[in-house]
Amino acid sequence: MKEDNNQNKRAEDILIDDFLSESLINGKIQEDEFQKEELFLAERIHQTICSGKVVFSESERIFLDQKITDRINRSKKNKTFAWISSAAALLVMVGVTVFFQLQHRSNIRDFASSILVKSDTNFTQLMLPGKKVIQIDAQESKIAYSKSGKEIKIEDQKNEEQSVDADVNSYNTVIVPYGKRTQITLSDNSTIWLNSGSKLVYPVRFADDEREVYLDGEAMFEVAHDEDHPFHVLTNNMEVKVLGTIFDLCAYSDDSTINTVLEKGSVELTYKRYSFLGSTSEIMVPGMLAVYDPANKIMVQKSVNTKDYTSWKDGYLVLEKKSLGGIVKKLSRYYNVTIEVENPELADETFSGYLDLRNSAVQVLALISEMMDIELIESDHLIKIRKKQSSS
């Protein structure tokens, strides 16, 4: 009887049944108990949603489109079970919609991952289509686009022009090395402050329906409000959707967490989690910090003083009980110097205070050393921090 019942199950029945969905996820489902096409459909929707990768071929997409049409038509003919068929169609549509979203989202991610970053350069690089690279020597630089995106003004340099073709999906990339920062004003008048050691990828021309950029590193965003064209910031493990707001996003690839701090407005965070659906969304309100752990797929929000996380844009850091190890990592990026903490237990000790980043790395660290039981050892481009040695 159980086998007969399973033969009548549709893809959505499999997916919403706790036991069957778990069996599907673990590869332990009894394939001969189900209709082949329904099991195929359930597997494909699950793979698309959970893996974050495109798994449909063109023929499979056509098959799914037909399934949606058939189920909607059945719901119209049989009103008694209309809610079942509608739910079925809706579930399949969710799967297909996610497929198209992932396919669209993957374009800019794939492009970003294909860019080779030279670690030995001291220039901020603006990369245009056609492999044209503009080097910017200033420590604090500004890049501004015209409304069309065609003209690019770079502070203290000759203005640049680029071709803007509405039918071609091409991107600009800004790569900021350690020790430098840049301010970018996009064609929609949104402003982005890009911190040291960061990469930002964005279209030469925003699409008609939305605005989308990709970030690896840290940036503060002041997004121009446009309710009809939502702004998306993609990272490797998370997506931020905004309408018009001010927030800081720290998503360095070598950090264990992604931090989002909201100063003004509202944002929606979409991230992967351990569940059947594979992802979930949370809304942030001003004054909150959201910390996402990609390894464990856990998101935690808490109330903070946002200036503690956004003040780097204005040239200073406000720190409250921050670990020395974390401070050293920030300063290493900001000044492009190697700083080592000689004693492992020292890295966990905390510091609170105001650091003026207009001073040199040594001056900033000297201020910290005055308030902690540490001393600095300088040699070439290396600064070592260790516990103070007794004078005897």
* pLDDT score, position 91: 47
Distance, in Å, from the CA atom of 307 to the CA atom of 318, rounded to the nearest integer, reads 7
Amino acid identity of residue 328, one-letter, is V
Burial class (CB in 10 A: 0-12, 13-18, 19+), 392: exposed
- What is the architecture, at CATH level 2, of domain 315-387? 3-Layer(bab) Sandwich (3.55)
C-beta of residue 240 within 8 angstroms of C-beta of residue 283:
no
How many of the other CB atoms lie within 10 Å of CB of 38? 19
* pLDDT score, position 39: 76
Q: Which residues contact 330 (CB under 8 A, 6 or more apart)?
A: 312, 317
Q: Tell which residue, 133, 228, 222, 229, has the closest CA to residue 185.
A: 222
How many of the other CB atoms lie within 10 Å of CB of 89? 20
* pLDDT score, position 10: 73
Task: Report how far apart, in Å, the C-alpha atoms of 334 and of each of 103, 181, 255, 259 are.
Answer: 35, 8, 15, 17
Q: Are the folds of 117-307 and 315-387 the same? A: no
How many of the other CB atoms lie within 10 Å of CB of 95? 24
Q: Which residues contact 42 (CB under 8 A, 6 or more apart)?
A: 11, 12, 14, 15, 24
pLDDT block averages, 10 residues each, the chain of length 392: 65 69 71 76 66 51 58 53 45 47 64 77 90 91 92 87 75 94 95 96 85 95 90 93 91 94 94 67 94 91 93 90 91 91 88 90 91 85 84 54
* pLDDT score, position 176: 95
Structure token pair of residue 390: 């007794």
Domain ranges of the chain: 2-111, 117-307, 315-387
Length of the chain as a residue count: 392
Count Cα atoms within 13 angstroms, Cβ side, for 351.
25
Relative to beta strand 211-222, strand 231-234 is parallel
* pLDDT score, position 113: 84
* pLDDT score, position 306: 93
Distance, in Å, from the CA atom of 68 to the CA atom of 59, rounded to the nearest integer, reads 15
Please, what's the b/e burial string for 240-270 (b: 16 or more CB within 10 A of its CB; e: otherwise)? bbbbbbbbbbbbbeeeebbbbbbbebebebe
Q: Which residues contact 159 (CB under 8 A, 6 or more apart)?
A: 151, 152, 153
* pLDDT score, position 1: 44
Can you name the CATH fold of 117-307? Jelly Rolls (2.60.120)
Q: Which residues contact 238 (CB under 8 A, 6 or more apart)?
A: 251, 258, 260, 269, 270, 271, 292, 294
